[in-house]
Structure formats: C-alpha cells, structure tokens
Chain A
Amino acid sequence: MINQLFKNTASALCYSIIQQSGEPIHSSSVFPHNDVVRFVLQQHNRMPDYLRFPIVFLTLLFNFWGFIVRGYPFSRQPHTMRWCQISAWKNAPISICRDLMRFYESLVVLCWKSEQIKELN
C-alpha cells in the first residue's frame, strides 16, 4: 500500500511538472507521460540504497502535506493547487524539501526533453 501511494504521488508530481512546462507533444500518437514516470521510478530504484527510503518517506510526507495545508493529499489536488505546493517546497527554507523537488524536476525535465528530441529525430 505504501509502495502504491509512493508511486501515485511520484506520478502526480511528474504529471504536474510536465503540465507546468506547458509544452504540447508534437504528435497525437505519442503520449510519453508514463514513460517519464517509469523513468523516474526506475532512477529511484537505481539510486544509492541508503537514499531510497528517505525519498519514499519525503514523497509521502509531501503528499500528506497537501492534506494538512489544503485539505487534499497532493495526488488528489487539481493542477493549479498542485503547482502551488510544488512551488512552496521548491522555495522552502528547509533544504531537503528543495532537494526533493529538484530530484523530481531534474529527472522529469531530462526525460521529457529527451523524448521530444527522439520524436523530432
């Protein structure tokens, strides 16, 4: 259950970051969002083992934080509300909050842009 909740939250984060980039996919036959989520989860599995659980824990905390502040867990919020929470954590005074957002944003952007390049090629 915890694993599924982690995957749902990670997926919601990936979708929100992609949506915020506001860029249309050039072809209607390509929908790489799930490839991005898969890449991010695979990268989480590859990272040093002592960092994996902290990432899961912080991601779940991030999800629950939405419930405390806005009445809904992050994964069930609409996009605008989600982005407000992402922005708040990106600019938080606590470095681990910023690091968590940086972790997701870097991987999503890398994969998303790589998919775009592949599509253009």
Chain B
Amino acid sequence: MSKSVQNHRITHPKSPLTCEIAVIGSGPGGAITACLLAEAGRDVLLIEEGSYFSLESCRAFSQAELEQKYRNGGLTAAFGKPKIQYVEGRCVGGGSEINSGLYHRTPPEILEKWQTEFAVESLTEAELLPHFEACEQAVTVCKLPGKPPLASLKLHQGAVSLGWQSLEVPRWFRYQAQTDPAVTPKGTRQSMTQTFIPRAIDAGCKLLTNTRINFIRKQGKQWFIKGNYIPDYQSKQAVEIQAKTLFICCGAIQTPALLRRSGITKNIGNSLQMHSTVKVIAQFNEIVNSKDMGVPVHQVKEFSPRFSFGCSISSPPYLAVGMTDHPQYKHEVDQNWQKMAIYYAMITGQGQGSVRCLPGFRDPLVRYHLTQQDLKDLSEALQKLSQLLFEAGAKILYPSISNFPRLTQPNDLKHIPDLLPKSQTNLMTVHVMSSCPMGENLEKCAANSFGKVHGFDNLYISDASLLCTAPGVNPQGSIMAITRRNVLKFLGKL
C-alpha cells in the first residue's frame, strides 16, 4: 500500500463521519466515481466492504485469491434450473482485482436497443466515444505485443479454419518492453488499485475499508448511512456516515440488495441478467498449457450477439475441478494437463433473475430463470465450440455436464441434446448486470439516464446494475465509460 493510500485511509472511524459525497463500493463504478469527483475538488468518502490488498498480494486466479478477494470465497450461485455459479469481488477495487481484464466497448446495436426499449438519453456510440477513450487510456487498454498463449491460438486457428470471425481482445495491462515476438510477454495487470484509486486518494478522497453498509436513510437534506466497521474477525464497530449525496456502486447483486434493505424497491433487483456460460475441457496431442500460460486473449464472435467463445484460465487446479464432471477420466489431468485447456461458450441470453433480501440473513438470495431459448442457445453454442475445437486438433472434449460421455470425434457432436439437461449441466458466469436499469421508461427503469434513482434526490447508482440488458461482451468497458459520462453530467461538465 502506498504512503498516500495509508495516509488517507480511515482506520478507526469515529461516528458520525461526515462528507459531501459518499461512494459505497470501490469497483470500477465506485473507483471512477470517487476519482473524478475528488479531482473536481469535492469532499469524497469511498467506502468498501472488503480489505485493501495490493495486486501482488497473491497469485492471480489462485486459491489464495479466492480466499482474500472474492465475496463468499467465490461460493455464490443464482438459484434456478439449472443453478448458475457467479463470482463477485469483495476488496478495494472490486471485480477489477480478480478478472482477466479483457476489454470491449459496448456494441452499437446494444446502445440502440437501450435507447429504444429503455428510453436512455444521450447514449449514442458517438456520445460515449470520448468516455471509452479516456478510460482506455487510464487503464492502459492494449493488445498483446508478443505471442499469445498456445491454448488461445488454438481457438483462433480453429475459427480461421472454419471461416469464423475470431479476434484478439485487448486487455487492461501494462506490458514489459520486449524484443522477442515469439515469447508471451510479461507485465502488470491493471486494476482500480493500480489506476483510479491512487488517483482518487491523491486528489484528497478518503478511503474507509472493511465497512459493510447495512442500510441508508434520507433525513432532511442528508443521507444517513449505517453500517459496521469490521477490521478483523474479532471486532465490529457501528459506523454512521452523513452525506449530502450518495453514490451506490456495489455491483449488480449488492447494489439492489442494499437498496431493498433500505426500503427502496421500485424496479430494483427485478431484472438481473448474466452471460450464462458452459465450459469444455479440450485435450490435444501437443502441449498447449504451461504453469505461466497467462490469460488467453482470443474470442470468437461469429455468432455474436447470441453467443461467443473464448479460452479460460486453465491451471491444473481449475482443470482438476472441471474434470469432476467426468470422474473416470480425472487421472488425465495429472498425466496430460499440459495438453489440456478450458474453453467456454457464453450466451447473451434472454433470461432474467432477481435479487431479494431474506429476513434475518445478511446475504441476498439470487434467482435466475433461463428461457427455453437460452437452453437451446447454450446447446448450440456447445456444439459449435466443440466443432471448432475438433477443427483445431482437439482429440478429446469433456463438456461441463456431469457424467456426460466425453466427445472423441466430430460425429459425437450429435450426442449433445438440443436442450442441455437442466439437472446435469454446470453453468457459471463472471458477468452479472442489469439489476437496476437506467432510462426514462418508468415502467422498467430504476434510475434515470444518468444514474439518479427515480424518485429520490441526491441518490445515484453507478455500476453494472445500470446496464439495461446484457451487452454480450465483457461489461467493464461499458461500466467505466457510462460511469465517467454520468459523473461528468453530475458535475455539470457534459
């Protein structure tokens, strides 16, 4: 932790804390909001439930990271048929500290859909462009300057061979200068603790970590924010914060949960969306994996927006967990993990879910309903991904369907049913959004076109909850650009 962060971090909060603007949640939405407001000279307090960890505090995608930085240790699921496992960050920097940093701008057709169906104002591609560019510069979005991981190249080769569109996705990453283009380059992942949070602190923003907010209440012209400061497992201290303006940036699950706990429920937590994802472990004859494989960067967008494909983190522990769906072949991971990699097929989907608070419990209940069309899309996506992987030279495929036969030749693809079996299919997602959509359509939207909660003064949402629907691509580029746009509007600079 830098000296500047140490100096601006509140370690023993004395109630009531007062500030002009309180920002709850320090993921991309909260960190950018706090940064831009502080840089505009506002008195800002950034509140985070998790602890402050540097990016180097643990190995990326490791068990230690799961324990340190994930909410509920990564054991979170949306209930439905089938269940969908999802993950959220719970640390300073939020989801930006635990993801791959793959970056996309919001597709223009999605922006058009949001304007038409949700009546979002001033959200054309041209209007968002300066915000995309500013955020891309701030987090160093760039393409890999050297050779991509072999497993990533396999996906690309399979797509090219079939004549399907495949692209290298840029990442938030600061690469080390290198001269050998045949080597996968090293560098530093970028995240909020590397970028916007130090900027916010340098501009005078105060940081209160380890503080869970239980509810918010408006009294007169002030927002009263009540929570608990929990620096360790042994101690807990009640905290009250008073602020004139409040930004809630806790992510697509925790933002609606906090609002609903506080009695604010209109269009809140009713329209959750996620990119449901089915995985396949592919086994090749040659080596495609290594201990320092890095993040695969190719995605196949031939069937976008319905579904797209990519390659996942494929370390031996992840491979071994994936292979629990095929217990008779688990020895293959021990013997051949270097020839194996995990691939995914992700659908945009039409399903919706909800976020609800359960009386007497701290954590919200998340439910999700996949439509018949979603299940068909998942099945078709799995078939097409398997076809691609065979084309790329895969010898054996293990889909994430419990006790489903492994696929050893293209002819086996006909065994994949038109609707994936609900009781056996294991789905996951790393993209959750749209639980408090923005727009002027009062029947659907929780907040206005710039994130102000309908019916409440000085209360704003600024995170993935605002995205009207699932964008079909990694949403963090959209979250960052829309956050910047909304904060500049708040500051009267738009």
Interface positions of A (Cβ within 8 A of B):
21, 23, 39, 42-43, 46-51, 90-91, 95, 98-99, 102-103, 105-106, 109-114, 116-117, 121
Contacts and interface: CB of A to CB of B under 8 A. Distances in A.
Interface in B58-115: 62-63, 66-67, 72-73, 75-76, 83
A109 B321 contact: yes
Nearest to A106: B321
Given A109-B324, A113-B321, A117-B317, 19 more contacts: A21-B330, A23-B334, A39-B63, A43-B73, A47-B75, A48-B72, A49-B362, A50-B358, A90-B327, A91-B403, A99-B83, A105-B324, A106-B324, A109-B320, A110-B318, A110-B321, A113-B333, A114-B317, A117-B315
Given A23-B334, A106-B324, A46 B72 contact: yes
Contacts of B352: none
Interface residues of B, number: 29
Contacts of B198: none
B113 to A, nearest CB: 33
B235 interface: no
Contact of B316 (A46, A99, A117): A117
A50 B365 contact: yes
A29 to B, nearest CB: 21
B423 interface: yes
Interface of B: 62-63, 66-67, 72-73, 75-76, 83, 291, 315-318, 320-321, 324, 327, 330, 333-334, 358, 361-363, 365, 402-403, 423
Contacts of A111: 63
Contacts of A43: 67, 73, 75
Interface of A is mostly: helix
B472 to A, nearest CB: 28
27 contacts: A21-B330, A39-B67, A46-B67, A46-B72, A47-B72, A47-B73, A48-B76, A48-B361, A49-B362, A50-B361, A50-B365, A90-B327, A103-B75, A105-B324, A106-B324, A109-B317, A109-B320, A109-B324, A110-B66, A112-B320, A113-B316, A113-B320, A114-B63, A116-B316, A117-B315, A117-B316, A117-B317
What 10 A-B pairs come out closest when comparing CB atoms? A46-B73, A48-B363, A113-B317, A114-B63, A47-B75, A50-B361, A113-B320, A43-B73, A114-B317, A109-B320
B67 A48 contact: no
Contacts of B362: 49
A121 B62 CA distance: 14
B63 A42 contact: no
Given A50-B361, A105-B324, A111-B63, A42 B73 contact: yes
Contacts of B62: 114
A111 B317 CA distance: 8
Contacts, number: 66
A47 B327 CA distance: 25
A50 B73 CA distance: 15
Nearest to A17: B324
A90 B76 CA distance: 21
Nearest to B424: A98
Query: Which of B63, B66, B83 has the most CB atoms of chain A within a 10 A radius of its CB?
Result: B63
B332 to A, nearest CB: 13
A49 B324 CA distance: 26
A49 B364 CA distance: 9
A90 B403 CA distance: 10
A42 B402 contact: no
A112 B63 CA distance: 10
Contacts of B317: 109-110, 113-114, 117
A49 B361 CA distance: 6
B403 A49 contact: no
A10 B318 CA distance: 22
Given A21-B330, A47-B75, A49-B361, A42 B67 contact: yes
B363 A49 contact: yes
Contacts of B75: 43, 46-48, 51, 103
A106 B363 CA distance: 22
A17 B364 CA distance: 31
Contacts of B316: 113, 116-117
A38 B127 CA distance: 52
Contacts of B73: 42-43, 46-47
A90 B324 CA distance: 11
Contacts of A90: 327
A103 B324 CA distance: 11
A98 B67 contact: no
A110 B317 CA distance: 5
A50 B363 contact: yes
A98 B426 CA distance: 12
Contacts of A103: 75
